[in-house]
Homo-oligomer: A and B are copies of this chain.
Amino acid sequence: MSFNTFGQLFRVTTWGESHGPAIGCVVDGCPPGIELSEADIQPFLDKRRPGQSRFTTQRQEPDQVKILSGVYEGRTTGTPISLLIENTDQRSKDYANIAERYRPGHADVAYDMKYGHRDPRGGGRSSARETAMRVAAGAIARKVLGAEVVIRGAMTALGAHGIDRANWDWAQVDENPFFCPDARAAEAWKTELDAIRKAGSSIGAVLEVVAEGVKPGLGAPLYGKLDADIAAALMSINAVKAVEIGDGFAAAALRGEENADEMRMENGKIKFLSNHAGGILGGIATGQPIVARFAVKPTSSILIPKHSVSADGEEVEVITKGRHDPCVGIRAVPVGEAMLACVLADHMLRHRGQVGN
């Protein structure tokens, strides 16, 4: 049992607080002989890195990852891989009054309810800063999965404003600050988010992650279901409140004949004619693209005053100054991809343990 580890055979244990000396993780169970260096990890961290547009926090962190163990002469050895990122731009004074006043919608109050003692600097352990290590681990997971598995993510709604799926173009995702696959929607979002940011407010988002090339058979009934593990992995990301696979909630409105993904043969292999299931049946991958969506609530740290209480039980108003993302959903795109990669790498190894290669 563990509170800070995810995965069973590909296991990632993260540690570190937003304003401590460093954050890090240990990746245990990575198979031996895989080529790995910091250069394989850094690009994914750079994608998640703060301070790259006016739509993310202005905290400046180079997020340079170091590999401290588990790699020898450029290849993994099968022993645990320790990754470390030093925290450099901690401005703890910004957060001085977080220690005293609970931010509505934030985990501050819940941590105190549980532990009675917490590191309030920048949200401490509950800060989204922890997700940097998920992204780093996800980069290793991609190496484990190999080049045939392609994992991509995109933001599909800013607040109530969704994309037009007819415009979906993966190439657009890297061309705007939202990881948005619809160029037109991205333009509109700039205006919308500027207004929200200037109002000291924040907004939620919907994200989608897709894995193509996943080997049929990964996953397992009944409590090792691939979709159950994806649901937990995405729900464990800060501020996520909902997860769906394939058609998700929309499947509830379908009739059986509409929802059934019909099959035909093609070149001696089963070919599905649709993908309502999002690539998973009975908890097991079918070889179709795995499709998951998740909802991120608006950032809790806002400049608009809200009723709250202090740790001492006094009724207060809270305004949260400091450097915050007006839409934390944006930077959750690489995090969602990373979590999907980690779940798939784990299930690839688990599948081997169950039925061999």
Contacts and interface: CB of A to CB of B under 8 A. Distances in A.
A36 B133 CA distance: 25
Given A78-B115, A281-B106, A356-B357, A254 B298 contact: yes
A244 B295 contact: yes
Contact of A355 (B8, B31, B228, B234): B31
A163 B24 CA distance: 46
Interface in A105-142: 105-107, 109-111, 113-119, 124-126, 130
A221 to B, nearest CB: 6
A221 B119 CA distance: 13
Interface in A86-122: 102-107, 109-111, 113-119
Interface residues of A, number: 154
Nearest to A9: B353
Interface string A72-92: 100111111110000000000
A222 B21 CA distance: 19
A257 B69 contact: no
B206 A252 contact: yes
A29 B308 CA distance: 30
Given A15-B69, A114-B284, 6 more contacts: A16-B69, A105-B276, A109-B270, A110-B285, A114-B220, A244-B249
